[in-house]
């Protein structure tokens, strides 16, 4: 069995633990250890990093090309195509990348990183098509926001059809962008829509998204492969928005917010803490590391945010940072103790 170094170490620790408990005899232990082969270098990780850097460099090159007015003027002289024509070209290019990536997934599913890189090129081409087409509309045109919805539908359709977490994630990001643009246009680009500022709107967005992913069963086999990125995106939108609500509340401008005492926003901090506690509870109950991680991380963010709000102005900075240092020291000690406990049980992670 070929394993990466960390995986091989974990398997050997498990074998040693079973041997110490008398579950495995020495001959079986020797036979199992003989079948473990460490991979000397993690080429899979290198492949993923290399493809990621390649795609990012290509994206930077494309953005740089659009930013270079001289280059754009030269291309426009060579290719006399309207903005709509350029958008259609990008759309056709995106379709070609999606088809190519879909066929490679069926024929060469083991080449995961290169397949995802090809699909990501399709994502970039789709974004380019929407951007070029958006130039034909003024920013206050309602059709401008609908272009983002078109991109969302394209990403969602392709991501669902190919069961691609990468494209599905971009579909959810595009959906969030459409929500912001659509509600912004409907409110005349004011601070409120139906009495909600932007953070409150995205709190509801994250709540709905994570609620569907966590509590709605039997959405089909294809969605099961996309449930994790949906959960991650929903939790991220929910907790970041709740964090902003705990600081600014449902206020749309700084002048109104500065006139409010921070204690009047404390109920948002309690809601933020309750959501974090619920995520930790569900994570422990379902043995879900992602839920536990979100809950613990944002519970700490909530506590430290309240610490800064309450004591930054009222406490001498020497005392303030001494308390902060002590809290992080205790947190590190506790984390180290938990890690060593897991290590003693044969689970170093």
SS3 at position 137: coil
Based on the domain organization, do 98 and 166 belong to the same domain? yes
Average pLDDT over residues 73-81: 53
Beta strands 37-38 and 2-3 are: parallel
SS3 at position 299: helix
Q: Within the chain, where are the H helices?
A: 5-20, 26-34, 43-67, 69-78, 83-107, 112-134, 142-162, 165-186, 198-215, 221-224, 227-248, 254-258, 266-286, 289-311, 317-344
Report CA dihedral (341, 343, 344, 346) to the nearest 10 degrees: 130
Based on the domain organization, do 219 and 85 belong to the same domain? no
Based on the domain organization, do 175 and 240 belong to the same domain? no
Based on the domain organization, do 90 and 142 belong to the same domain? yes
Based on the domain organization, do 23 and 85 belong to the same domain? no
Note whether residue 289 is domain-resident: yes
The mean pLDDT of the chain is: 78
Note whether residue 65 is domain-resident: yes
Q: What angle do CA 319, 297, 208 make, to 5 degrees?
A: 135
Based on the domain organization, do 177 and 77 belong to the same domain? yes
Q: What is the span of the domain harbouring residue 340?
A: 315-349
Among 218, 120, 101, which residue's Cα sits nearest to residue 169?
A: 120
Note whether residue 199 is domain-resident: no
pTM for this entry: 0.71
Give tens-digit pLDDT for 288-326. 888 988 998 999 888 888 888 777 777 777 887 788 788
Based on the domain organization, do 181 and 255 belong to the same domain? no
In the listed set 141, 173, 190, which residue is the last one of a domain according to the structure?
190
Based on the domain organization, do 250 and 280 belong to the same domain? yes
Based on the domain organization, do 336 and 275 belong to the same domain? no
Based on the domain organization, do 103 and 177 belong to the same domain? yes
Note whether residue 203 is domain-resident: no
Which residue would you say has higher pLDDT here, 72 or 338? 338
Predicted pLDDT of residue 209: 92
Q: At what angle do helices 198-215 and 165-186 cross, to 10 degrees?
A: 140
Note whether residue 163 is domain-resident: yes
Domain count, the chain: 4
Give tens-digit pLDDT for 192-237. 778 888 888 999 999 999 999 888 887 777 788 888 889 999 999 9
Note whether residue 136 is domain-resident: yes
SS3 at position 244: helix
Q: How many residues does the chain have?
A: 349
Note whether residue 206 is domain-resident: no
Note whether residue 167 is domain-resident: yes
Based on the domain organization, do 71 and 117 belong to the same domain? yes
Based on the domain organization, do 137 and 52 belong to the same domain? yes
């Amino acid at each position: 069995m070929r394993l990466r170094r960390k995986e091989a170490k974990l398997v050997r620790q498990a074998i040693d633990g079973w041997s110490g408990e008398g579950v495995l005899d020495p001959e079986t232990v020797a036979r199992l250890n003989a079948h473990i082969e460490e991979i000397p270098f993690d080429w899979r990780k290198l492949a993923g990093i290399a493809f990621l850097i390649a795609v990012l460099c290509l994206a930077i090159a494309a953005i740089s090309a659009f930013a270079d007015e001289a280059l754009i003027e030269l291309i426009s002289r060579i290719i006399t195509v309207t903005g709509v024509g350029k958008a259609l070209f990008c759309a056709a290019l995106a379709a070609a990348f999606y088809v190519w990536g879909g066929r490679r997934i069926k024929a060469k599913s083991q080449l995961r990183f290169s397949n995802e890189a090809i699909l990501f090129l399709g994502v970039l081409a789709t974004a380019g098509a929407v951007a070029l087409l958006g130039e034909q509309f003024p920013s206050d045109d309602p059709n401008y926001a609908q272009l983002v919805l078109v991109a969302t539908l394209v990403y969602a359709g392709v991501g669902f059809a190919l069961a691609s977490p990468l494209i599905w994630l971009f579909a959810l990001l595009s959906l969030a962008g459409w929500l912001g643009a659509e509600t912004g246009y409907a409110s005349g680009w004011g601070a409120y829509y139906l009495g909600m500022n932007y953070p409150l709107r995205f709190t509801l967005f994250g709540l709905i998204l994570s609620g569907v992913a966590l509590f709605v069963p039997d959405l089909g086999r294809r969605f099961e492969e996309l449930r994790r990125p949906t959960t991650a995106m929903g939790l991220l939108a929910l907790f970041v928005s709740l964090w902003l609500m705990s600081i600014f509340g449902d206020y749309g401008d700084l002048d109104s917010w500065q006139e409010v005492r921070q204690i009047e926003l404390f109920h948002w901090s309690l809601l933020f803490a309750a959501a974090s506690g619920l995520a930790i509870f569900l994570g422990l109950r379902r043995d879900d590391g992602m839920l536990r991680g979100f809950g613990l991380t944002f519970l700490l963010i909530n506590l430290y945010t309240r610490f800064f709000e309450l004591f930054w102005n009222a406490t001498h900075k020497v005392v303030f940072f001494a308390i902060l240092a002590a809290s992080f020291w205790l947190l590190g000690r506790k984390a180290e103790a938990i890690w060593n406990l897991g290590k003693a049980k044969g689970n170093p992670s």
